[in-house]
A and B are shown apart, each in its own frame.
Chain A
Amino acid sequence: MNLLWLQASGCGGCTMSLLCAENPNVFDTLTGAGIRVLWHPALSLDSGAEVRRLLDRIAAGEIALDLLCIEGAIARGPKNSGRFQMLTGTGRSMMDWVQDLAPRARHVIAVGSCAAFGGVTSAGDNPSDAVGLQYEGSHLGGLLPPGFRDPTGLPVINVAGCPTHPGWVLETLMLLAAGAMRAPDLDGYARPRFFADHLVHHGCPKNEFYEYKASARSLSDMGCMMEHLGCIGTQAVGDCNIRPWNGSGSCTSGGYPCINCTAPEFENPRHAFTQTPKLAGIPVGLPTDMPKAWFMALASLSKAATPERIARNAVSDRVDVPPTLRKPRP
């Protein structure tokens, strides 16, 4: 399978994250899956005229394009010209190239939340008029129309995340190369369900604090970050706390909140990222699939029942009170 990777309007961080793949490394994984990289802007030898010739041949249909990976949003500005990002040496905008190549690809993969939805590149008032491949924020229809389908019937596959986990990208590519990804394997935002069926909350190291709503007051406290520090891990999709990042990590294990980076429009939360918005002292945005009244009732019960150990550790930067020793029954 031939893979072409283009970096559109983004930071390159999804490629950097991809290079963190382990056991095996990224190159061996791709080779093992029978994926041949036609060109990757950070990794391939070819430069300049060699690349222009390759792109022309792909666009002319002379070289089969199986996997088209786009990393970064598509800049449409200024004035719908796409000239905020030119594909250098070609005199054409990246917008123009992607529109040309996407219909030729067996599968189109949006790598990262920028390519999927616009992401951080479209933050604030979206200075470059950036858009995702098939979504503009949460609205279907981006650079490509809502009805876009690849020859196998799949929409643009949104391997969202800021950055993406290397496993999400590689497993998606391997599934596609094996012909083992179908429309029902994607969620409502076309994200692969193998990671999007999980919440960041699943396996969060702060779960015991969450159970008792024992909350961190400031970054560096050990407690749950939902009530005060903007954490939306209970609503954000991703298996971040089930499969580790970079050996053993996740945002919440690093001591900072989940900002829902796999979701459209996460870049403009309408409040500070690290502060939970509240109405009458109650956090807005409670878990999505739980009746609010039940949540409030359970929260006040569990708060009242919080053990001293958990209450004290929640507002400390280290374990002040260890678990009580459990002694075998005589």
Chain B
Amino acid sequence: MSAAKLVVGPFNRVEGDLEVHLEITDGSVAKARVNAPLYRGFERMLTGRDPRDALTITPRICGICSISQSAAAARALGDAMGLAPTPQGAQMAALIHAVENVSDHLTHFYLFFMPDFTRPAYAGHDWHDAVIQRFTAMEGSGARRAVEARAQLIHILGLMAGKWPHVLAIQPGGVTRTPTGAERMRIIATLRGFRRFLEADLFGASLEEFMTLPSQDALLSWDRGDAGLFLRAAVSLDLADMGRGAGRYLSFGAYPLDHGFGFARGLWQEGALGEVPLDAIAEDVSHAWMLGTALHPAEGLTEPDHEMRDQAYSWCKAPRLAGLPVECGALARQVIDGHPLARDLAAQGGGVLARVGARLLEIARTQILMERLAQEIDPAARFMAQGNIPAEGAGVGLVEAARGALGHWLRIEGGRIASYQIIAPTTWNFSPRDEGGQPGPLEAALVGAKVRTGEDTPLAVQHIVRSFDPCMVCTVH
């Protein structure tokens, strides 16, 4: 038996800072510890401020999930105010949010995830030359095309949200800007342009054809477009089997609209769908450089351990749902929303193929949703309802960021923020161990990853980590 330890970092092409510690036995990972090495203390910055300031401060937790943080803060404030957005305000907020989420999925696929397959280690595979041509970091024709398509899609945010990232456009009562009929047409035209990119470059076929794929087998035989290049690599490297998940998925529900969610809320475990027991969330701090005990975020505390005690190894708390770790993200959302392809991907292991495949599926489905939201814009309607912040109150804002379930828990006392607690998607996915020693979802998924002889930054580990599309700046905040 051979044993070794590896520290992987700087771990790039993830948003923010990440360090992974590996114990390797006989050529595969026996144990992994995940460290989120950046602490800024947003929850503490917010304490004592005017509650409305959360709309300015929390988006700046993260430059890639900025609108998601806005949306969660607006919902939390609205909950405390007893104010809901107008129906058209909610629709426009959903459209703004969807643009960010799709942009993030695109950034992940073209800039963060796929460049790993250009590495010389994969020379000789029949897809390798094409992957180099499309996905070489900062040079590939696909990478260039994708940043241009992304920038053009974000014109919708320039128009309706002023800019991106870091906007104040989403408010508890709706959105700050009322579109005209002509602007509705501009949005529709921009979305048509984005569809052309998706169909010509990413899928090599109509969105409708891709999103009706019924199973993992059908997905693996898809060979068109840039998605096809990924799937050819997935077949030859058996990415389906790499980085399997535990099959427990959480979604807070994406795009809350008048008639329900764009993608459903729920908890998927043991192959069945159930309600999310929101009261059963607790953040364990046994292995985090945080002081205190496991608490529900409504009563949560953020007290950094300045001594950085030895038994802890991350600034990230460990959120658990009824005592168990859960995975969130596009795969979770699509499983919970009941899409047959996502359900099959989860049933067959929920590994690297499943996470990335579900993200591609969600790009197609979200484009359809955005097209519908744009068609339904009613320029004659009200886009904002007004309300007042109470002197005392509490609120919860639950949304779905690109990377999964994002929650804000707010308490107001004497007209000021008394407590603000945030659990971000990667807080769930990249959490450290809890008091019972249960590893977080990534730590568990890394066990068994193959380490080739001589690798000091194992490729399988990189694929698994990036398949989650982590956002480390959100993780600790």
Contact = CB atoms under 8 A, between A and B. Distances in A.
A20 interface: yes
A61 interface: no
A128 B40 contact: yes
Contacts of B17: 7, 85-88
Contacts of B45: 120, 123-125, 127
Given A22-B148, A124-B46, A255 B10 contact: no
Given A7-B17, A42-B15, A27 B61 contact: no
A15 B180 CA distance: 32
A257 interface: yes
B38 A254 contact: no
Given A43-B111, A85-B38, A246-B157, A219 B16 contact: no
B348 interface: no
B162 A13 contact: no
Given A19-B107, A49-B457, A84-B38, A125 B158 contact: no
Nearest to B168: A256
Q: For the side of the interface on B, what is the size category? A: 35 or more
A89 B17 CA distance: 10
A317 to B, nearest CB: 5
A5 to B, nearest CB: 10
A21 B308 CA distance: 40
B194 interface: no
Interface stretch (A132-140, A169-177, A268-276): A268-276
A127 B304 contact: yes
Nearest to A54: B10
B167 A318 contact: no
B52 to A, nearest CB: 5
A128 B139 contact: no
Nearest to B69: A11
A124 B53 CA distance: 11
B25 to A, nearest CB: 20
Interface stretch (B211-219, B272-280, B317-325, B378-386): B378-386
Nearest to B477: A11
B53 A272 contact: yes
Contacts of A86: 17, 19, 37
Given A78-B308, A120-B60, A127-B44, A43 B163 contact: no
A314 interface: no
Contacts of A37: 138
A116 interface: no
B178 A21 contact: no
A223 B64 CA distance: 31
A44 B62 contact: no
Nearest to B107: A19
A249 interface: yes
Contact of B48 (A12, A50, A124): A124
Given A84-B40, A120-B60, A89 B159 contact: no
A17 B162 CA distance: 13
A59 to B, nearest CB: 14
B56 A88 contact: no
A232 B473 CA distance: 29
B161 interface: yes
A300 interface: no
A48 B112 contact: no
B262 interface: no
Contact of B12 (A22, A41, A78, A123): A41
Interface in B27-59: 35, 37-41, 44-50, 52-53, 55-57
Interface string A9-47: 111111111011110011110100000010111111111
Contacts of A158: none
A262 interface: no
Contact of A253 (B57, B66, B162): B162
Interface stretch (B169-177, B201-209, B234-242, B390-398): B169-177
Interface in B118-153: 118-119, 136-139, 143-144, 147-148, 150-152
Contacts of A251: 162-163, 167-168
B151 A7 contact: no
Given A16-B165, A48-B11, A246-B154, A220 B178 contact: yes
A13 B160 CA distance: 19
A52 to B, nearest CB: 7
A259 interface: yes
B146 to A, nearest CB: 9
B18 interface: yes
B13 to A, nearest CB: 6
A95 interface: no
B115 interface: yes
Contacts of A39: 12
7 nearest A-B residue pairs (beta carbon): A254-B162, A13-B63, A127-B41, A89-B9, A88-B9, A246-B158, A48-B457
17 contacts: A7-B16, A10-B473, A11-B61, A20-B150, A44-B13, A83-B308, A84-B38, A89-B7, A90-B10, A120-B45, A124-B46, A249-B163, A250-B162, A254-B168, A256-B162, A317-B384, A318-B178
Interface of B: 7-13, 15-19, 35, 37-41, 44-50, 52-53, 55-57, 60-64, 66, 107, 111-112, 115-116, 118-119, 136-139, 143-144, 147-148, 150-152, 154-155, 157-169, 171, 173-178, 180, 304, 306, 308, 315, 379, 382-384, 386, 456-457, 462, 473
Interface of A: 7, 9-17, 19-22, 25-28, 30, 37, 39-52, 75, 77-79, 83-90, 120-121, 123-125, 127-128, 130, 162-163, 218-220, 244-257, 259, 261, 267, 271-275, 317-318
Given A19-B107, A90-B9, A254-B177, 11 more contacts: A11-B473, A19-B151, A21-B151, A25-B148, A220-B384, A245-B164, A247-B152, A247-B155, A247-B158, A249-B162, A275-B50
